[in-house]
Amino acid sequence: MSIRIIYLLGLGHSGTTLMGRLLNAHSKTISTGGTKNIPLFVKGQKSCTCGARSPEGCQFWSKTEMALERRGLSLADLDFGYDNQDNLDLRQLRLYFESVLEAAGAEVIVDTSRRRTYFARLAQVPGVEIIPVHIFKDPRAQYASNKRKGMGLLRSVWNYNVRGARIRDMKPDGPPVVHVAYEELCRNPRGELQRIMAAAGLAFEEEQVSAFGEMETHIIGGNRMRLDKSSVIRLDENWRRRLSRFEQKAAGLLGSTCYRRNLEASGKRGDTALPPEKHGK
């Protein structure tokens, strides 16, 4: 059985939840959130978007469990967390992915685990083709999200620059990384989704933009946007009011080179990468 996975790379709060929902709306894909979240879901520490706090409470995850049991395993046997990523059981991963696709009747899994090192481990699963997709934000928007979690400016920009450089330097054995700017995804979702779906060997479907909020989802983990039933895509520019003028200028200056190079990797012009700040009186 051939297994294809669209793997979302990037930082937390970079747009991966939105991207996961848009990709999930395709008739041949299933977005499960991060594979690394499965042990937490089994333990009741993460919930499914249907509201279930355990596999038994969700129709889809119950079907996945039954498909996995036919292969001699249970979801409770799987230790796929970040803290075990150096020791992942590749055979179990293969059987898990087969079971997810069987339960969903899908051809492609969308995984939002984000880490480059976790991607490298999943890429070792026999018979699996991973399509890496890097989603990134304006460094000011990224810092505004990180600031809400208590992260300082310098650490935020350092993480942004280092993670961006490492992902741009990736040379996977399979398909190359597809780089996508969150801002461009919001402005031109059809064009960006067409690029991603083409990389996965699928045609874009209009429902991915027009009705993604109405689609049934069984995503484990992610921010509160995963529960939104709206199919309206709104560009989040709350950084303009959350950050002081100094913070906007500092984050923009310190992260501008990385953002420009990310844009260039995505095929966009990077010479006017950062939009100007807007300040009221």
Assess whether pLDDT exceeds 70 at residue 275: no
Read off the pLDDT of each residue in 125-152 and give the average, rounded to a whole number: 96
pLDDT per residue as tens digits for the range 194-237: 999 999 999 999 999 999 999 999 999 877 777 788 889 999 99
3's enclosing H/E stretch is: strand 3-9
Assess whether pLDDT exceeds 50 at residue 247: yes
pLDDT at 268: 82
pLDDT at 159: 97
How does 235-249 read in b/e, with b if 16+ C-beta sit within 10 Å?
Answer: ebbebeebbeeebbe
pLDDT at 52: 93
pLDDT per residue as tens digits for the range 50-86: 999 999 999 999 999 999 999 999 999 999 999 999 9
Assess whether pLDDT exceeds 70 at residue 269: no
| CATH code at 3-137+176-231 | 3.40.50
Assess whether pLDDT exceeds 90 at residue 278: no
Q: Where are the domains positioned within the chain?
A: 3-137+176-231
The pLDDT confidence band at residue 251, using thresholds 50, 70 and 90, is: very high
pTM exceeds cut of 0.75: yes
Query: Which candidate, 19, 251, 272, 261, places its Cα nearest to that of 164?
Result: 261
Read off the pLDDT of each residue in 186-195 and give the average, rounded to a whole number: 97
CA distance 152 to 159: 11
